[in-house]
Every structure is written in C-alpha cells, then in structure tokens.
C-alpha cells in the first residue's frame, strides 16, 4: 500500500499546518518548542495573519524559529526582541508582530526590554517559553530555575542564598497597565494544548485589535537539560513547575 | 540653531521614518527637538524615548530590518552601550544612521567635548569584522547635511553610517540652510528598494528573514567576504575630505570636526608669519583619505595631527605616511579645547625649534 492510497480526501484527520516549513527542527525529541511552533503556525493560518505576521526570534533554543514558521522573521540580539518588535510594530502598524523568547532571553538579559515594551502597551504578542533552564548553552541555571533544581551551574541545587529566587515574570507583567492579557499555559496534555492554542488566539486577536501587550507564558519541558525522559519530564513539570508557576489567566481585559 | 537641533530638523525634512533615543548630555536636544516638533502629526515619523540606549539601538535594528529609514543618537557612554546592536545591524547588512555627539571619557568622564571615540567609530567598536561609514561634521550646516548623506550612503551600501560629531559642533549655534522637505517613502517604494525587508509577506510569495546568525563556517566566511567586498567598494567610492592651503604647503595639519576650524585659524595666523602650513580635514573618517595623505607626505616636511584625544587618528595618518616624514600629535583631553595659539605653539615645538 502506498502513501497515496492511504491519504485521500476525507481521510486526513491530522496534517502539518501550512505555515510549518519542511525544515527538520533542531529541537530535542520531547521538547515543548515543537508543539508551540505548531500552535503558532495553526493560529496564524486560521486567523488569516500569515501575510502580515512578523516574528522576532530570540537567542536560545528557539534562535532558529525563523526556519520553521513561514512568515517574515527578524533574529534579535539576546533579550532585545521586545525592543525590536516595538519598532516593527510602530513602523508597520498594519502588521501583527510577535516575539518568541525563552526564560533566559525574556527574564534575565532582556528583563528591561520586556518590562518596558509591556509597560508602553506595545501592540505585540510575547510568547514566553519557561522551561526553568538554559537549553541551548547546555543546561545552566535560568532566572526561573526552581529552588533545589540541579543545573550545570547549580550542580548541588539552586539555593536562595547563592542564587536568589525563581522569578515570576508573568506575575510582574500582569501588574503593568500596558498589558491587556497575561496567561500561563502548558502543552503537556491534549487538553493543555487546546487551552494554549485558544490563549494564543486571544493574544493575536488582542494585537489585531490594538489592545496592548499580550503575554502567553508556556511552562515547558527541557528533558535534555533536566536529564529526564520526555515522559518523565512531563510528570516532573506537573509535579514541581506548576506549584511555582500555576496555570491560568493572570490578567484578561476584554 | 544648535548643531543638535539641525540634526532633528534635517531628519524630519529628509523623510526619516523613525528616531529612537535616550537622553544623554550633550545631545539631548535632538530628542527634545523631535518631541517638540511632533513629526508624527506631519510626516508620520515615529519618535520614541526608549528605556535605554540598548533598547534604542535594537529598535533601530527592528526598524531598519523593516526597510525603514531609522536613526538614533547618543553621546559616548551611550554609544558604548549601543555597540552590540550596531554589530548586529552591520552583520545583517541593514541601513541605519547612528549619531555620536562625543564627550570626554573614559567612563562617565565629562559632558565637555571630545574626539576620543575615533577608534570606537572607525575600527569597529562592537565585535566582529565590520565597518561603519563615519562622517565627521565641522559645522552646524554639515550636521544638517550629513543626515541625508548618511542615509543615502547607508541605503546605497546596506551598511550603517555614523555621524561622529564632537560636543562643540553639537552645542554650537550657527546659521544653517535646512534641506527641502521630501516625503517619506511609501510601502511600495520600500518594497522595491528593499526586497529583503521584513515588512510582512503581503503577497510576496516567500518569507524574508533578517539574521546575523550562520553556524556553517563556510557560509559565515562567505558572508564575511561579502562584507569585505562592500567595505572595499565604499573605500574606493566614498572617501571625502577638504583641503585648505595645501597647494604650497611645507607642513600639513590633519584634523577633523570642529578642531579643524581651530587649526585653520592657526594656519592663517602662521601664514602671516611666513610659515606655509596646509590643512587636510577628513570628512569621512572611515573610509579614511589614506591616498591623499600619502600624496601630501611627498610634498611636506612634517605632519601635525590635532585631536581632542590622546592620539587616535594619528595612527591612520602614520599608516598613510609610511614613515616618509615625521608625524606628531597635539591633543587636549578631558573636555579642554585648544585655541589657535596653542596649536601654533605645538607646531613650533615639533617642527621649528630644533
């Protein structure tokens, strides 16, 4: 039986979104990035935003995001995506600009740019992948690393005395007058994926309607950095991450 | 008007799409003038006070990636903060204009004038092999004119340009003829001029990506070779300088920016005493007028380089002269500006009293 015999009109129940490119991703199997990329591609296509969406990629694991989603992209310096997006959104207000940032990019080196772009109420979407670790550079401590969590730079576990506390950026961003929607989601179960997708839809709709800054945090797994299997990672995330980073809307102004 | 104000008015008239800046003395009048003029009401120009120089230069990066004519300005400590972003802009082959109205350093230094950022501006500043096109204005008129020239060159070569002004020419008031108004480019014109720009696909049929990242070494070397070819082209085509009294000169002074005007006064006084000195004022600090200085080194007995620093441009002069004649330096630092008499004294000490 050939592929063509199986895939016929009316038999397809699942396929790659049109906006996901053919490029093979560099992400580790089990990583949340792939699911989130897929959701963005689905949402942009379903909302008919492909021609006017522009992404800003971070430095970190998602540095090559521009290879996978078929819209215009700018690759920003580490942490500066919200500043880059500010100019792009203001100079082409008919476009919908989104950033895609990890916890190191958004919550450490880019804290100032993130807070001030959100505080200005830039009409952008900030997608924040929080996996509590630096994946690309080999599993070092992130600002969101949990107390006790072992990483390459906290080999005996993060301690408050030595490293301070895990930062809850979405909670901070929700306090700013410039944000209209701040939510924390995950993509570890089918139900969570569906919720995350509807959150992304709401965020992009806010950008289209010029309501201000929308922040979608995705609490994510990094099985390579955590040194767990993908299945174990999902369990570890639910058991440990959600306690510090509970899922749900932190702010939603209609 | 002040040199800083002239830059702001020239930017609006040139049809600049956006300015992003952060206050720092002695150039805050640029942002202040733009905010007061409210060009977003007239030309549609975006003006934004950023949260930092770092944010401002990255806003420039985003705007330039969109094919827009985008600029920022700052003074020495702030321009140091911008260097990462400038390196990204150069590496992504984007046109942009950066203005540095220099103050004395290092560190927080002083708010008084300086030319101590010559190395930073002409030798790279940020990381990696890149060059900015560096224009050094000596008058308020040139402050206004170099906005348009800087953008024209930046778009011609897809390379960032810098106006490297000293604090004197930023704060000095002179008469100035502002350029005529011209409209900002339309989206269609930008799409034609900048087919690489990340303007959104809008029916283009493919995505545009602006990035400086290339992990495959042979491709990254190809990128570097392409950058170097651009720099060679700029070096061949865009060297600018102004000479005064060089026809019969027995000695030469090389100075840039407002210091060149002080030196010209000194040269005129020296000529009254029968000492034939000429002046070469580089207008482009990069590309540097190497060939012309080399030619003049066959004609003169000695060259004095006068700068508001400890001796920076003198290195490029010496590379041009290749040891044919003595090349000496006279500089003041810390915000002190020499008068013509001091320049003549420095000349005499180096070349007459032996």
Q: How many domains does chain B have?
A: 2
Find out whether B92 and B63 touch, Cβ atoms under 8 Å.
Answer: no
Q: What angle do CA B33, A91, B75 make, to 5 degrees?
A: 40
A2-31 pLDDT per residue, tens: 877 777 777 788 888 999 999 999 999 999
* Closest residue in A to B215 (Cα–Cα): A64
Whether B253 and B166 map to the same domain: the answer is no
Residue B46 sits at the chain A interface (C-beta within 8 Å): yes
Query: Would the CB atoms of B51 and A54 count as touching at under 8 Å?
Result: no
Predicted confidence at residue B354, as pLDDT, reads: 52
Secondary structure letter of residue B173 according to DSSP: B
Distance CA B93, CA A84 (A): 16
- Residue A59 CA to residue B84 CA, distance in Å, equals 14
Return the structure tokens found at A112: 């100032």
Q: Kindly list the structural domains of chain A, giving each domain's residue range(s) and its CATH number in brackets, ordered by start.
A: 27-252 (3.40.50.970)
Residue B102 inside a domain? The answer is yes
| pLDDT for the residue numbered A3 | 77
Question: Whole domain around residue B277: which residue ranges?
Answer: 242-351
What pTM value is reported for the model? 0.97
Residue for token pair 């290879």: A67
Give me the half-sphere count of Cα atoms (radius 13 Å) on the Cβ side of residue A115: 13
Gyration radius from chain B CA atoms: 21
Q: Are strands A124-130 and A96-102 parallel, antiparallel or unpaired?
A: parallel
Mean pLDDT, chain A, rounded, equals 96
Of B116, B151, B171, the residue at which a domain comes to its end is: B171
Residues B256 and B161 in one domain: no
CATH number reported for the structural domain that contains residue B18 in this entry:
3.40.50.970
Partner-chain residue, chosen from B66, B88, B212, that has the shortest CB–CB distance to A91: B66
Instruction: Copy the structure tokens of residue A122.
Output: 């830039």
**Is the omega angle on the peptide bond into residue B106 within 30 degrees of 0, that is, cis?**
yes
If asked whether residues B11 and B128 sit together in one domain, one would say yes
* Residue B45, domain member (yes or no): yes
Out of B129, B152, B171, a domain closes at B171
CATH of the domain at B247: 3.40.50.920
Q: How far is CA B312 from CA A61, B102, B120, B318, in A?
A: 41, 14, 10, 10
Provide the residue-wise pLDDT of chain B in tens; the chain has 354 residues: 999 999 999 999 999 999 999 999 999 999 999 999 999 999 999 999 999 999 999 999 999 999 999 999 999 999 999 999 999 999 999 999 999 999 999 999 999 999 999 999 999 899 999 999 999 999 999 999 999 999 999 999 999 999 999 999 999 999 999 999 999 999 999 999 999 999 999 999 999 999 999 999 999 999 999 999 999 999 999 999 999 999 999 999 999 999 999 999 999 999 999 999 999 999 999 999 999 999 999 999 999 999 999 999 999 999 999 999 999 999 999 999 999 999 999 999 999 865
Q: Kindly state whether residue B182 falls inside one of the protein's structural domains.
A: no
Residues B149 and B295 in one domain: no
Strands (E), chain B: 18-21, 46-49, 70-74, 97-102, 133-135, 161-166, 209-210, 241-244, 251-254, 277-282, 284-286, 302-307, 327-331
B223 to chain A, any CB pair closer than 8 A? The answer is no
Contact (CB<8Å) B62/A87: yes
User: What average pLDDT does range A28-49 have in this prediction?
Assistant: 96
Q: How confident is the model at residue A87 (pLDDT cuts 50, 70, 90)?
A: very high
Interface of A with B (CB under 8 A): 50-54, 56-57, 63-64, 66, 70-77, 80, 83-88, 90-92, 94-95, 112-113, 116
- What count of other Cβ atoms lies within 10 Å of the Cβ of residue A189? 11
Confidence of residue A147 (pLDDT cuts 50, 70, 90): very high
> Does B62 map to a domain?
yes
């Amino acid at each position: 039986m050939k592929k063509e015999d199986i895939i016929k009109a009316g038999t397809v129940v699942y396929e790659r979104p049109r906006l996901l490119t053919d490029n093979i991703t560099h992400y580790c199997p089990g990583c949340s990035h792939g699911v989130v990329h897929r959701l963005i591609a689905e949402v942009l296509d379903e909302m008919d935003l492909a021609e006017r969406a522009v992404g800003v990629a971070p430095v970190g694991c998602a540095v090559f995001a521009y290879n996978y989603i078929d819209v215009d992209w700018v690759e920003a310096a580490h942490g500066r995506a919200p500043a880059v997006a500010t100019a792009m959104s203001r100079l082409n207000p008919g476009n919908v600009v989104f950033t895609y940032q990890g916890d190191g990019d958004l919550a450490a080196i880019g804290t100032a740019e993130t807070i001030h772009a959100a505080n200005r109420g830039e009409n952008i979407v900030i997608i924040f992948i929080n996996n509590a670790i630096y994946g690309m550079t080999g599993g070092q401590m992130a600002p969101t690393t949990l107390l006790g969590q072992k990483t390459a730079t906290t080999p005996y576990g993060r301690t408050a005395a030595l490293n301070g506390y895990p930062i809850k950026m979405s909670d901070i961003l929700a306090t700013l007058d410039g944000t209209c929607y701040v939510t924390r989601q995950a993509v570890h179960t089918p139900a969570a994926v569906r919720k995350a997708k509807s959150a992304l839809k709401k965020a992009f709709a806010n950008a289209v309607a010029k309501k201000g800054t929308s922040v979608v945090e995705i609490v994510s797994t990094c099985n390579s950095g955590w040194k767990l299997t993908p299945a174990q990672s999902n369990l570890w995330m639910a058991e440990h991450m959600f306690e510090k980073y509970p899922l749900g809307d932190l702010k939603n102004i209609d | 008007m002040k040199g800083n104000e002239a830059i702001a008015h020239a930017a609006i008239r040139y049809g600049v799409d956006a300015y992003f800046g952060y206050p720092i003395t002695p150039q805050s009048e640029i942002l202040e003038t733009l905010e007061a003029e409210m060009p977003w009401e007239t030309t549609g120009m975006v003006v934004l006070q950023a949260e930092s120089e770092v944010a401002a230069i990255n806003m420039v990066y985003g705007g330039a990636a969109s094919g827009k004519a985008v600029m920022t300005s700052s003074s020495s400590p702030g321009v140091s903060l911008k260097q990462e972003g400038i390196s990204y802009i150069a590496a992504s082959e984007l046109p942009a204009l950066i203005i540095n109205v220099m103050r004395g350093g290092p560190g927080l230094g002083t708010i008084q004038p300086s030319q101590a950022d010559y190395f930073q501006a002409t030798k790279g500043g940020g990381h990696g092999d890149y060059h900015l096109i560096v224009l050094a204005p000596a008058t308020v008129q040139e402050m206004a004119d170099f906005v348009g020239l800087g953008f024209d060159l930046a778009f011609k070569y897809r390379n960032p340009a810098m106006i490297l002004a000293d604090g004197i020419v930023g704060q000095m008031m002179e008469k100035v003829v502002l350029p005529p108004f011209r409209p900002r480019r339309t989206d269609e014109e930008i799409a034609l001029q900048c087919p690489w720009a990340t303007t959104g696909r809008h029916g283009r049929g493919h995505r545009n990506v602006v990035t400086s990242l290339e992990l495959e070494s042979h491709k990254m070397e190809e990128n570097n070779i392409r950058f170097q070819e651009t720099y060679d082209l700029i070096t061949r085509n865009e060297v600018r300088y102004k000479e005064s009294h060089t026809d019969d000169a027995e000695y030469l002074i090389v100075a840039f920016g407002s210091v060149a005007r002080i030196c010209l006064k000194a040269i005129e006084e020296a000529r009254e005493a029968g000492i034939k000195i000429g002046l070469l004022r580089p207008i482009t600090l990069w590309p540097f007028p190497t060939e012309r200085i080399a030619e003049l080194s066959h004609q003169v007995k000695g060259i004095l380089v006068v700068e508001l620093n400890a001796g920076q441009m003198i290195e490029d002069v010496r590379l041009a002269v290749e040891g044919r004649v003595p090349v000496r330096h006279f500089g003041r630092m810390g915000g002190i500006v020499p008068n013509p008499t001091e320049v003549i004294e420095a000349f005499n000490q180096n070349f007459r009293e032996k």
